[in-house]
Amino acid sequence: MQLFINGQARDFPATFSVAELLNQLGLTCGRVVVELNRNILTTDHHSTTPLKNGDRLELIQFVGGG
């Protein structure tokens, strides 16, 4: 399956949910905004939203510091 993440094409061996993708990328659901095919997903939809070949995602991670 090919996904476009932040404009970069990436290949994955299987289909899975948004939450599983974030886990695979080492990202924490509560600290990432996910836009899937130009629609922002709320955190409670990450585990129930399946990804399909050709989906386009924009991932924005919040970083704290001081």
We report the CATH number of the domain holding residue 14 as 3.10.20.30
Q: Is residue 34 part of a domain?
A: yes
Residue 52 falls inside a structural domain: yes
pTM for the full predicted model: 0.87
On whether residue 66 sits in a domain, the answer given is no
Looking at residue 66, its pLDDT comes to: 62
DSSP symbol at 18:
H
26 is a domain residue: yes
Q: What local confidence, expressed as pLDDT, does residue 14 receive?
A: 87
The confidence score (pLDDT) of residue 28 equals 79
Q: Specify the number of domains making up the chain.
A: 1
Interval 21-63: pLDDT, tens: 999 999 977 789 999 999 999 999 999 999 999 999 999 988 7
For the record, the structure tokens of 41 come out as: 């997903």
In a domain, 56, yes or no: yes
User: Residue 23 belongs to what domain range?
Assistant: 2-61
